[in-house]
Amino acid sequence: MKHVLRSTLAVASAAAALLAGAVIAPAVSAHEPPKPGSSCAMSGMVEDNHGTLYVCASRKAGAMPTWSKGLPASRSPLTIADGWAKAADKGMSAGFGMIKNPTDKPIRVIGVTSPNSTFMQLHEVVMKDGSMVMQQKQGGFVIPAKGMTELKPGGNHLMFMKLTKPITAGAMIPITLITADGGQLKTTILGKVYSGANETYDGGMGDMNSMSGM
């Protein structure tokens, strides 16, 4: 009799431990980090796993995109001046501005995120078959030491691939630039009415655009 009672208690405490574990579990096993080198759906996607950043990109033109190694997030010394984004209700939009590098080493921007878009890409505009089309800039944007890179309509830009909320004229739109060493520039750019920057996006699915151009 005593023995049975004891094992009942043991079961009860095991159940209590399980319950306690169940309460703790979601915080501990939040989300598996992406596996570096494994394929990812859309070039430009960024995952922040407890302060370690993973950027989805193709390593060379035409290759399927894969996850980068984990980059420890830090504050980037880059700044952006006169940043703005084309006002739009839905679909795609683009962001521009002057990215400045105050350091004495070149800095490569490899990704960008915004709560206004499911994901974003770094784009360039090229001439293809007689028309201006935009596509992903292989390797991202390199900002020269003590220099700057201008993002402007008809040239390099930050592409909002799919708006999750409108970019309203006069609103400040949060964006985060991500550099090759995990540096983050968290800033805002101004929503503006602009009638240009309507280049065709050649593709629209991950890296299929660069594949179709080969």
Q: Which residues contribute to the site for Cu ion (CB under 5 A)?
A: 123, 134, 159
Q: How many CB atoms lie within 10 A of CB 133?
A: 18
CB of 147 or CB of 150, closer to Cu ion: 150
Q: How far is the CB of 75 from Cu ion (least distance, A)?
A: 27
CB of 27 or CB of 127, closer to Cu ion: 127
CA gap 60, 46 in Å, rounded: 18
Torsions phi, psi for 98 (to 5 deg): -110, 110
Measured on CA atoms in the order 38, 41, 42, 45, is the torsion positive or negative? negative
CA gap 106, 159 in Å, rounded: 22
Q: How far is the CB of 27 from Cu ion (least distance, A)?
A: 38
CB of 70 or CB of 117, closer to Cu ion: 117
Q: How far is the CB of 14 from Cu ion (least distance, A)?
A: 57
CB of 73 or CB of 157, closer to Cu ion: 157
CA gap 90, 67 in Å, rounded: 27
CA gap 38, 56 in Å, rounded: 9
CA gap 84, 97 in Å, rounded: 6
Give residue number: closest CB to Cu ion: 123
Collapsing DSSP to helix, strand or coil, 205 comes out as: coil
Q: How far is the CB of 28 from Cu ion (least distance, A)?
A: 39
CB of 26 or CB of 91, closer to Cu ion: 91
Q: How far is the CB of 21 from Cu ion (least distance, A)?
A: 47
